[in-house]
Structure 1
Amino acid sequence: MGTGFKVLIVEDDQDLRESVVEYLAMAGFEVSGVRNAAEFYQAIALGGWSVVVIDIGLPDQSGFVLVEYVRANTDMKVIILTARDALDDRVKGYDAGADLYLIKPIDCRELSAAITSQAQRYCSRVAQQAPAQNLTPSSDLWGLAQSSWALVSPDGTQIQLTGKELQFIELLAAHPGKAAAREELLLKLYQRHDEYTSRSLDSLVRRVRVKIMSVTDVPVPIKTVHAVGYCFSATLRYI
């Protein structure tokens, strides 16, 4: 099922790490396990990974820091696997850049399925990079390259997005000419509507706006619609 996908397991519990590595290897993954952050950085430097599974409670550094490092420096998919099931931790994990947040104990079959799904998305993204030149210059026309997770401005500048940011733009694109309701965005992005996810959405919108402003002078098209939600104020097409 997982043949060809290269997976890194970051887990300080030796018994758990070895059992997960053994199961995934039998399932067809090319998998390695490391016990701490120091070994993680050494492994990441070798490159070639499709998915990394990270425990939060490592002995030498918080797993959240590792997640942030992966998201800032690589394109690989990130799964957090931890016994910490508090809502604050889950929100913090997604804010750090995790693609999935899974709770221990977990059946290895579920973990294998989750890794396969994320690895397929990663490989599809790498194989189908869409060049910015495909977007015809226009003063109001933006492009969204789903395969490469990039928003392309009218002047041809690519703004790289995280998975959650891409999903946010896709939700806005589904409401051309009008606002996407905040409640809908919260439920579809985070599967719940509370003060924690509300702050996460605000943080996400702020990050996307800053990304756009940092690389292009084109006006930011993500607008706040008071008492409703957000809208994409310019023309957007998929490329």
Structure 2
Amino acid sequence: MSPNILVIDDEWNMRNLLRIVLSKEGFEVTEAHNGTEGLTLFAKNKFDVVLLDIMMPDMDGWQVCGKIRQSSTTPIIMLTARSDIKDKVQGFQTGADDYVVKPVDPEELIARIYALVRRADQAASAIKRERKIEFLDLVIYPERLQVVVKNLPVELTHKEYDIVMILAQNPQRTFSRASIVEQLWGNDFFGDPRVVDTHIKNIREKFQIAGLTYNPIQTVWGVGYRWANLT
């Protein structure tokens, strides 16, 4: 399937040149004459690569790049007539993936686009292969040591994450405080086992703040805790 490219540049001549070059290669090309129009098109369509001019009147390329990066990892190539290393550094810090100086060499640009598309495809394949544990709006990624609620990561401490993993990997199994303590700290723990209660209270609060509408960690009175098997 041919890559779908979004070109955001306020110069008609540049947009026209890029459209001709990319169309000859078989790419699908969508044009935007400023940053605002580019962001609108980006929000409504799926693109494989964004070609983004830096110097534009309404919103410069760095601003547009930053806004795209708030919600997407789509590859971005910055286009500019300036070769100042500071501009390149700012572009990469904003989230750009590559940087091409005008006048653009067609063969080089096409090669860079293909390289970014391949890299994005490889990353997407790796994500698809990644092991995950799913419960309704909550997903656990063991390789990343990360818990995600409604596609947003939840900032858990190391012990909080360990508790989530102990419970979530064994849905409906009840764990006593003592067994959780043993798995977290081993047999050398001499504190109050109810420290587990504090950790679980914090976990529940973080899940609620993240937008989880149910409580996956159930209290089994007089015994301990278990993970609700909601899928």
User: Which range, TM-score by smaller chain?
Assistant: 0.5 to 0.7
Give the distance between the partners of 2:46 and 2:16, measured in 1 at CA.
21
Structure 2: segments with no counterpart, 5+ residues? 134-141, 160-231
SS in 1 for 2:88: helix
Structure 1 segment 129-208 matched on structure 2, within 5 A: 129-133=128-132, 143=143, 152-153=144-145, 156-157=146-147
Which of 169, 193, 217 in structure 1 is aligned with 2:157?
Answer: 217
Structure 1: segments with no counterpart, 5+ residues? 135-141, 144-151, 159-210, 220-239
Q: Write the deviation string for residues 116-150 of structure 1: whole angstroms up to 9, x where unpaired.
A: 1111222333344234438xxxxxxx73xxxxxxx
Q: Write the deviation string for residues 22-63 of structure 1: whole angstroms up to 9, x where unpaired.
A: 110110111111110121012102221010010110110011
Contact 2:39 2:68 in 1 (8 A): no
Give the distance between the partners of 1:27 and 1:105, measured in 2 at CA.
19
What residue in structure 2 maps to residue 49 of structure 1?
47
Q: How far off its partner does 1:218 sit?
A: 2.0
What residue in structure 1 maps to residue 199 of structure 2?
none
What residue in structure 2 maps to residue 93 of structure 1?
91
Structure 1 segment 11-22 matched on structure 2, within 5 A: 11-22=9-20
Pick 1 or 2: higher relative contact order, CA cutoff 8 A, min separation 6: 1
Q: How far off its partner does 1:69 sit?
A: 1.4
Contact 2:48 2:74 in 1 (8 A): yes
Give the distance between the partners of 1:107 and 1:24, measured in 2 at CA.
12
What number of residue pairs does the alignment pair up? 149
Contact 1:132 1:157 in 2 (8 A): no
SS in 2 for 1:85: coil
What residue in structure 2 maps to residue 77 of structure 1?
75
Share of identical aligned residues, percent? 27
In structure 2, relative to structure 1, the CA distance for the partners of 1:43 and 1:118 (3 Å cut) is same
Question: What TM-score do the two structures reach when normalised by structure 1?
Answer: 0.56
What residue in structure 2 maps to residue 168 of structure 1?
none
CA RMSD between the two structures = 2.6
